[in-house]
């Protein structure tokens, strides 16, 4: 399904929705007018039946008028209740349909992104290996190809991990195997790995020693790696990425800050939604699936913590994961 047909679907659903809603409300108004007319007719007939010379005429007429007024009030009450229920249902359906269409658009973007993300490293790895097999290369070119191949397989690996973890988390996070983790060591080792992989980048560790949290090591590793990877991905090569860990009286704070493109206020909450990527898929140049931050949020929820993003000064973003202690 192309983006165009998704838009057409949305327009069709919106038109059907408004036509139906207008029809239901018109039917309700028509029902009210018909009942009210009938009410007036009945009252007039009953009035016509009483003899004007009857000494109790005025009293009887008042009783008929009173009953007509009560009927009118009853119709208005019932009509208003129906109207409120219809409006409530309409708002509910509108939100549900919009959410569903948005989700299916995001899933579509996700499928496009994931196909690209899977195909590129496989194609690059295949080409590199074929070149290594067929040609006698100089040592430095040989090493460069191997490094490039390793980078691509690392990307493939973290992508597969994210996809697997996302489907596991959908089924509920398993928190039974939580243990004490030396967060300082874990982050230090992650920072070292990134420094080896990205030799041209400035990656600064600002890590207080021996800070422990209770949790699932693989998940925390994934959280840290996703945040550092994003910080590198969404900032220029000249921008430094700083990872810090601090402990205060009630929380352990893990912060990853960059000097990159930053995040607009409207996107600050939404980037933690599944498949959400800021900007337009057609003009976006960075690779990704919109799963990383969703997983980070899920992981933090599973560790009784929170994750949020704020602006870095003068530019960039700061992601803060806070573990309650």
Binding site for ligand ADP (CB under 6 A): 226, 230-231, 234, 258, 260-263, 271, 276-278, 288-294, 317
In the complex with ligand ADP, which residue's Cβ is closer, 126 or 284?
284
CB of 28 to ligand ADP, least distance (A): 45
Q: Which residue's CB comes closest to ligand ADP?
A: 288
CB of 231 to ligand ADP, least distance (A): 5
In the complex with ligand ADP, which residue's Cβ is closer, 50 or 278?
278
In the complex with ligand ADP, which residue's Cβ is closer, 277 or 298?
277
Q: Say if CB 231 and CB 258 are below 8 A apart.
A: yes
In the complex with ligand ADP, which residue's Cβ is closer, 68 or 155?
155
In the complex with ligand ADP, which residue's Cβ is closer, 145 or 220?
220
DSSP reduced 3-state for 264: coil
CB of 293 to ligand ADP, least distance (A): 3
CB of 180 to ligand ADP, least distance (A): 28
Whole-Å CA distances, 141 to 30, 73, 133, 192 = 81, 89, 13, 25
Strand (E) or helix (H) holding 157: helix 139-170
The two three-digit tokens of residue 117, written as one number? 């993300």
Secondary structure (DSSP) of 267-288: GTTGGGSTT--SS-TTT--S--
Q: How far apart are CA 194 and CA 129, in angstroms?
A: 24
DSSP letter assigned to residue 112? H
CB of 288 to ligand ADP, least distance (A): 2
């Amino acid at each position: 399904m192309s983006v165009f047909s998704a838009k057409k679907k949305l327009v069709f659903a919106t038109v059907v929705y408004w036509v139906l809603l207008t029809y239901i409300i018109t039917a309700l108004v028509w029902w009210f007018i018909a009942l009210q007319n009938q009410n007036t007719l009945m009252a007039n007939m009953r009035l016509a039946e009483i003899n004007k010379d009857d000494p109790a005429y005025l009293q009887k007429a008042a009783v008929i008028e009173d009953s007509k007024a009560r009927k009118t009030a009853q119709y208005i009450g019932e009509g208003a209740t129906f109207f409120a229920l219809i409006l409530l249902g309409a708002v509910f359906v509108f939100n549900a349909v919009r959410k569903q269409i948005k989700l299916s658009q995001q899933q579509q973007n996700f499928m496009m992104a994931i196909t690209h993300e899977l195909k590129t490293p496989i194609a690059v790895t295949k080409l590199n290996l074929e070149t290594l097999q067929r040609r006698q290369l100089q040592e430095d070119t040989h090493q460069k190809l191997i490094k490039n191949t390793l980078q691509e397989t690392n990307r493939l690996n973290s992508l597969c991990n994210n996809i697997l973890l996302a489907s596991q988390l959908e089924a509920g996070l398993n928190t039974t195997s939580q243990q004490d983790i030396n967060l300082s060591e874990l982050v230090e080792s992650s920072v070292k790995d990134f420094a080896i992989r990205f030799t041209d980048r400035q990656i600064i560790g600002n890590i207080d020693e021996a800070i422990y949290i209770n949790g699932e090591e693989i998940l925390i590793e994934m959280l840290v790696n996703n945040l550092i990877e994003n910080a590198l991905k969404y900032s220029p090569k000249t921008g430094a990425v700083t990872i810090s860990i601090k402990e205060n009286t009630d929380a352990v704070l893990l912060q990853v800050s960059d000097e990159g493109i930053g995040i607009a206020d409207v996107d600050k909450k939404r980037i933690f939604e599944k498949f959400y990527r800021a900007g337009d898929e057609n003009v976006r140049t960075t690779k990704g699936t919109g799963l990383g931050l969703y997983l980070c949020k899920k992981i933090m929820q599973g560790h009784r913590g929170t994750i949020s993003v704020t602006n870095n000064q003068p530019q960039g973003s700061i992601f803060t994961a806070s573990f309650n202690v």
